[in-house]
Chains A and B, each alone.
Chain A
Amino acid sequence: MIIALAQISPVLGDVDKNVRLHLEIIDKARKEKAGLVVFPELSLTGYNLRDLAAEVAFLPEKDKHFRKLLSISRAVDLVFGFVEEDQGGLIYNTAAYLSRGRPLHLHRKVYLPTFGMFDEARFFAQGKDVLTFDSPLGRTGLMICREFLHLSAGYLLQAGGAGMVIVISAAPGRGASQGRGFDTSRMWELMGEALSFFSSAFVIYCNRAGFEDGMAFAGGSFVFSPTGRLLARAAYAEKDFLLVEVDPEEVRRARRRWPWVRDDKPEVILQALQKILGGHED
């Protein structure tokens, strides 16, 4: 399957304009025969929303934009980010996987960066699950930006059997010492490479570009194969559009060669965690 990574720069707080941007890119991707288009974190709204977060939030089933994207997903799978409202009025930083006219999975961001330049837990409720689901690409997992930097989130997707890890991101760049994009881009690439080895899984990372309130988003979206091979990487710190051919059979081949996933011991992890957290007496 051909996967398109849309390294866009959404308009901050203007869902209508961003939906139009999504539709343009989806058209372009379909012309290139893409089976899946991946957009960055909060691609329908922009990232640094602050009080705007509540104003651009919607209940997916009731929203006209969401329904529009659902109908488009009959022809091409879509992964994008938006502010999801739940029945109780809480709002989440959510990633959606739509396929064949159905929402296959909605992942609510669990790890909300709230330090330094980040303030997410102030505006968003925290998700509770890191679960996998079946997609046309096989067992799939979604992560949102910062979650990718937590070993635990990647591990949960691995334990859930994901052969396809899709990370949507709005990562600002920091440090400009080396000339290959921002210094922080190296951190994401290292994590992607490592996770693809650990999990023998494809790691598809879609970051954004552009500026919000002086923050420069670092771009540099990438795809690693299940054996840690860099299949493609987008431009650093500017808009880009990447097409990558992905063969899900490679997951199977990688796992025959490297049995890390087969030999993993989730039950040992579970027991050990219970001990560490004091749930068990020795």
Chain B
Amino acid sequence: MKIDCAFLIRVLTGFIRQELGKAGFQKGLLGLSGGLDSSVCAALAAKALGPKNVLGLILPYGDSFPQDVKDATSLARRLGIRSRLLDIAPMVDAYFRMVPTQNRTRRGNKMARERMSILYDFSAREKALILGTSNKTELLIGYGTLHGDMACAVNPLGDLFKTQVRRLAEHLRLPENIRKKKPTAGLWPGQTDEGEIGLSYEELDEILYRLVDLRQTKAEVAAQGFERKKVERIIGLIKNSEFKRQMPPIAKISSRTIGHDFLYPYDWGK
């Protein structure tokens, strides 16, 4: 779990610069929520590409999180990156007028996908690639909207647990209110990740690290003082969200099938 932040920042900024460069891009963009992950990602991108080559889109739904909009705006200013504020309420409301629901998850997912749709349009408009901000914790337990906040071109944070991202944020000297903010998916007011998952990120990451990185069994993790029920629940979350981490299976018919035996590298020719 220990990370050397200075070395890690060197690797991750190299990753952003080289992955974009290989694809023929100098610019990156990302959604800025005012939260920890997107703030760290923006700071890394500013270092990697130069602040003027980074665009942060601030995409609130109406006035539901005014503090986050303020934090995102001031972070963009602080980093010297370009930013633009767009309210997604008109697009989202237009849809839900036609297909009404009070289901918070459906509404929240729709908002996440609306943001994705705007990011991809700006990607083409600005000739900039989308930087993903999903961390390893979220990806492992499936705490993200498929084709929503999980959608991106490259993800520099996907192998860092939430608590490691927090350490990076300290090293990057991001403002305290961003670092100390209760993590939230922002699907509805008052929602917090830890409230919804039912575990603190500290405990969740310790358990995930043992299960995934150290390949320990449920019994081995439990023997170290973690509540067995919690460990089991986390294993269930990992298992049930595998579909979010893979391309959908293709029915194999021919002798050479995409994903089965048509196997090319992502960086093909780059």
Candidates B7, B15, B262, B266; contact of A179 at CB < 8 Å: B7
Are B264 and A211 within 8 A (Cβ)?
no
Q: Is the Cβ of A52 less than 8 Å from the Cβ of B265?
A: yes
A181 within 8 A of B: yes
User: Chain A contacts of B15 at CB under 8 A?
Assistant: 211, 214, 216
Complex CA gap A216/B2 in Å reads 18
Q: Are the C-beta atoms of A210 and B265 separated by less than 8 Å?
A: no
State whether A238 touches B14 (Cβ < 8 A). Answer: yes
Q: Is the CB of B265 within 8 A of A212?
A: yes
> Is A216 a contact partner of B265 (Cβ separation < 8 A)?
no
B19 proximity list for chain A (CB < 8 A): 211, 214
A177: interface (CB < 8 Å): yes
A to B contact number (C-beta, < 8 Å): 66
Is B6 at the interface (CB under 8 A from chain A)?
A: yes
- Min C-beta distance of A31 to chain B, whole Å: 27
Residue of A nearest to B18 (CB): A211
Report if A256 contacts B (CB, 8 A).
no
Task: Say yes or no: A176-B262 contact (C-beta < 8 A), given A11-B270, A12-B270, A210-B18.
Answer: no
Cβ of A24 within 8 Å of any chain B Cβ, yes or no, is no
Name B47-104 residues within 8 Å CB distance of A. Answer: none
B-chain residues with CB within 8 Å of residue A237 when the two chains form the complex = 7, 10-11, 14
Instruction: Indicate whether A177 sits within 8 Å of B265 (C-beta atoms), given known contacts A12-B270, A210-B18.
Output: no
- Interface: B269 (CB within 8 A): yes
Q: Counting CB contacts under 8 A, is A213 at the interface?
A: yes
Check A13 against B268 for contact (C-beta < 8 Å).
Answer: yes
User: Is B8 interfacial (CB-CB < 8 Å)?
Assistant: yes
1/0 per residue A170-198: CB within 8 Å of B? 00010011111100000000000000000
Interface 1/0 per residue, A1-36 and B, CB below 8 Å: 000000001011110000000000000000000000
How many A residues touch the partner, as a band? 20 to 34
Q: Report the stretch among A43-51, A69-77, A272-280 that lies at the interface.
A: A43-51
A213-B4 in contact given A237-B10, A237-B11, A238-B14 (Cβ < 8 Å)? no
Given A177-B2, A178-B4, does the pair A213, B265 have CB atoms closer than 8 Å? yes
Residues of A within 8 A of B219 (CB): none
Cβ contacts under 8 Å, A178 to chain B? 2, 4, 7
Given A51-B262, A216-B14, A238-B14, answer yes or no on A13-B269 (Cβ-Cβ < 8 Å).
yes
Give chain A interface residues in 203-259, CB to chain B under 8 Å: 210-214, 216, 236-238
Hey, what's the 0/1 contact readout for A149-183 against B, CB within 8 Å counting as 1?
Answer: 00000000000000000000000010011111100
Q: How far is the CA of A143 from the CA of B182 in the complex (A)?
A: 51
- Asked if B176 lies at the interface with its beta carbon under 8 angstroms from chain A, I say no
Q: Please provide the chain B residues from 1 to 27 with a CB less than 8 Å away from any CB of chain A in the complex.
A: 2-4, 6-8, 10-11, 14-15, 18-19
Please pick, from A49, A52, A177, the residue contacting B4 in the complex, using a CB distance under 8 A: A177
Q: Return chain A residues, CB-CB under 8 Å to B196.
A: none
User: Do the beta carbons of A212 and B267 come within 8 Å of each other?
Assistant: yes
Q: Given known contacts A177-B3, A179-B6, is B268 in contact with A12 (CB within 8 Å)?
A: yes
Measured between beta carbons, the chain B residues less than 8 angstroms from A9 are 18
Chain B residue at minimal CB-CB distance from A209: B14
> Which residues from B are CB-within-8-Å of A238?
10, 14
Q: Report the minimal beta-carbon distance from B133 to chain A, rounded to whole angstroms.
A: 15
Contact A176 B3 (CB under 8 A): yes
B135 smallest CB distance to A (angstroms) = 15
Given contacts A179-B4, A179-B7, contact A213 B266 (CB under 8 A): yes
The distance in angstroms between the C-alpha atoms of A14 and B8, with both chains bound, is 29
CB-CB under 8 A for A176 and B4, given A216-B15, A237-B10: yes
Residues of A within 8 A of B18 (CB): 9, 210-211
Is B263 an interface position by the 8 A CB rule? yes
B22 to chain A, nearest CB (A): 8
Chain B proximity of A11: nearest CB distance (Å): 7
Q: Which residues of B contact A179 (CB under 8 A)?
A: 4, 6-7
Mask for B250-270, Cβ within 8 A of A = 1, else 0?
Answer: 000000000000111111111
User: 9 shortest A-B CB distances, which residue pairs?
Assistant: A179-B4, A177-B2, A50-B263, A213-B266, A51-B263, A48-B265, A176-B8, A179-B7, A12-B267
Instruction: Report 5 cross-chain contacts, Cβ distance below 8 Å, ordered by A residue.
Output: A11-B270, A12-B265, A51-B264, A176-B11, A180-B7
